[in-house]
Amino acid sequence: MKAMRRIAVGGVVAVAIGALVTLPVSAQTYPVAGPKKVKVKVGDNYFKPKKLTIVVGDTVNFVWIGAAIHDVVVTKGPQKFESKKQASGKFKQVVLEPGKYKIVCTLHPGMDMKLTAKPPPPVTTSTAPGTP
Ligand SMILES: [Cu+2]
């Protein structure tokens, strides 16, 4: 019985360590400075800006400004997301994985953009001015 119990406890510890190691990126906390909201226009037939750099944790807010139906689809990138096909409205996406993304409208070949998500800057422990 003693041996059985030891195995059981060991198993629990192994599972706990495994959970720590596989902690998803989304569980990280981000510095006070962020996150930001960044707007991307979805026009006929273009994204503006065509190149965008953000910091992980930022929200990209796609806003439809054209008349035609478009969508927003990641074809390459560490995090996949896609909007509905729509002619107006918005699509908000929080980007949690650092890396380079290619985003397209699947309805219009050549309508694409590049998004780069940088890792968050290290948290600094600077004190406020006047603090002793
Ligand atoms: Cu389109």
Centre of ligand 1 from the C-alpha of residue 124, in Å:
42
Distance 113 CA to ligand 1 centre (A): 12
32 CA from centroid of ligand 1 (Å): 36
CATH of domain 30-118: 2.60.40.420
Per-residue pLDDT of the chain (132 residues; tens, 9 = 90+): 444 444 444 444 444 444 444 445 554 554 556 689 999 999 999 999 999 999 999 999 999 999 999 999 999 999 999 999 999 999 999 999 999 999 999 999 999 999 999 998 777 776 666 555
List C-alpha distances in Å: 116 to 12, 81, 97.
39, 15, 10
Q: Is 0.85 surpassed by the pTM of this model?
A: no
What is the 86 CA–ligand 1 centroid distance (Å)?
Answer: 9
Each domain of the chain, given as residue ranges in start order, spans 30-118
Torsion angle, alpha carbons of 52, 60, 48, 65, to 10:
180
Burial grade of 73 (CB within 10 A; 0-12, 13-18, 19 or more): middle
